[in-house]
Amino acid sequence: MRPSYYADDSVTLHHGQAVEVLSKLKASSVDCCVTSPPYFGLRDYGVDGQIGAEESPAEFITNLVAVFREARRVLADDGTCWVNLGDSFASSASWGRGGSSQLEGRKHDAAQMSRPSPERSFGVPPKNLLGMPWRVAFAMQDDGWILRNAIVWHKPNAMPESVTDRLSTRYEMVFMFTKFRRYGFDLDPIRQGHTMKPQRRPAGRPVDAIPGGIGQPRQSWSTAAREDLGVDGHPLGKNPGDVWEIATTPFPGAHFAVFPPELPRRCILAGCKPGGTVLDPFSGSGTTGMVALQNGRKYIGIDLNREYLDLSLRTRLSNGVLDFAGEA
Ligand SMILES: C[S@@+](CC[C@H](N)C(=O)[O-])C[C@H]1O[C@@H](n2cnc3c(N)ncnc32)[C@H](O)[C@@H]1O
């Protein structure tokens, strides 16, 4: 076992390279992984060896696959792994060294952190969208993960962009992976209210005969599918689907790439059994940990930047659990 940076009954934090720390953790010791790795070529987290600063997409993907290979070993066989990734354009994915930690202030934004680095090769001409989330997802699939969901996180308050020759980016991806075909998943805690009043199908009446029905032979729709469509209302609400509209929330003092708490909340409630342990190998300000604790789970966080671990202990993982989104 590796000595931890911090440990109490519910929280363990490790300082170091995610891949190295994970390799020392016990196999099958966590129930769920929820994380947001650095994006390729976008931000400088102020530490040597950080992921995202690689010279090429291929190196970035290799490094992430190695981290998640270790995470898979640490994950229980019925566990789930949720990975949030945003995309980069070949022209903007030019990260410069020498930037200081973004903990120093919010003056750093994506544009300020990006400096031209013509020697970097992206394998495609400038301005190309790299498709990085999907490249990583396919590489993880090739490495043995089962990709179960590709969730679009739509940000209604996404950062404005000054581009006029393409559409501005308003979403990121959240992938759900599993180790095996059978795994723990509970839809009920994240069901959402029905948009239309659920229609109880009168006994013996086919679904396609219901006004506003789905026009399909009754026998082709399972109970779950009818509930998903709102034809038969599940008392706890419908499946939230794979497009999640969640506004970003600022967190004073941290780098700005923090999870809105609602995002890890959905992953944890559906993908981690009550009382289980949630892992975030790129812990940052500790949002995943805060939400895990708020929902009766334990937390293991890893980060290469000691300042972020300290920040998370002072704020989100402290007894009072400060949450600037007001959701504490
Ligand atoms: C996008 S941020 C995570 C933000 C987090 N989801 C939150 O809500 O605060 C990525 C984090 O990964 C950390 N990091 C970068 N490279 C790392 C590595 N090789 N091992 C561990 N942590 C790393 C950075 O220091 C940063 O805190």
By CB neighbour count within 10 A (0-12 exposed, 13-18 middle, 19+ buried), where does 158 fall? middle
Pocket test for ligand 1, best of 50, 95, 302 (most atoms within 8 A of CB): 50
User: Does residue 301 line the site of ligand 1, with CB under 6 A?
Assistant: no
Ligand 1 atom showing the smallest separation from residue 254 Cα: 9
User: Does residue 304 line the site of ligand 1, with CB under 6 A?
Assistant: yes
Task: Identify any residues that bridge with 84 across adjacent strands, giving them in sequence order.
Answer: 174
Extract the residue ranges of the chain whose pLDDT is less than 50.
92-119, 206-218, 320, 322, 324-328
Residues 70 and 126 in one domain: yes
Residues 145 and 109 in one domain: yes
Q: What is the CA radius of gyration of the chain?
A: 21
| Length of the chain in terms of residues written | 328
Residues 185 and 309 in one domain: yes
Predicted pLDDT of residue 204: 52
User: Does residue 22 line the site of ligand 1, with CB under 6 A?
Assistant: no
User: Does residue 18 line the site of ligand 1, with CB under 6 A?
Assistant: yes
Q: Please, which residues have CB within 8 angstroms of residue 138's CB and are 6 or more apart in sequence?
A: none
Residues 139 and 276 in one domain: yes
Point out the domain boundary residue: 174, 203, 238. Answer: 238
Whether residue 81 lies inside any domain: the answer is yes
Residues 216 and 81 in one domain: no
Residues 76 and 98 in one domain: yes
User: Does residue 287 line the site of ligand 1, with CB under 6 A?
Assistant: yes
Residues 171 and 290 in one domain: yes
CA within 13 Å, CB half, 301: 34
Whether residue 319 lies inside any domain: the answer is no
Task: Identify any residues that bridge with 171 across adjacent strands, giving them in sequence order.
Answer: 154
User: Does residue 302 line the site of ligand 1, with CB under 6 A?
Assistant: yes
Residues 15 and 108 in one domain: yes
CB 155 within 8 A of CB 108: no
Point out the domain boundary residue: 238, 268, 293. Answer: 238
CB atoms within 10 A of CB 111: 10
User: Does residue 259 line the site of ligand 1, with CB under 6 A?
Assistant: yes
Residues 216 and 302 in one domain: no
Structure tokens at 80: 């789930």
Residues 226 and 251 in one domain: no
Whose Cα sits closest to atom 5 in ligand 1? 284
Whether residue 285 lies inside any domain: the answer is yes
User: Does residue 67 line the site of ligand 1, with CB under 6 A?
Assistant: no
**Spacing, Cα 286 to ligand 1 middle (Å):** 10
Q: Show the domain range for 231.
A: 194-238
- Considering only CA atoms, which of 87, 85, 84, 112 is closest in space to residue 98? 112
Whether residue 324 lies inside any domain: the answer is no
CB 177 within 8 A of CB 108: no
Q: Please, which residues have CB within 8 angstroms of residue 83's CB and are 6 or more apart in sequence?
A: 33, 35, 36, 37, 68, 136, 137, 140, 174, 175, 177
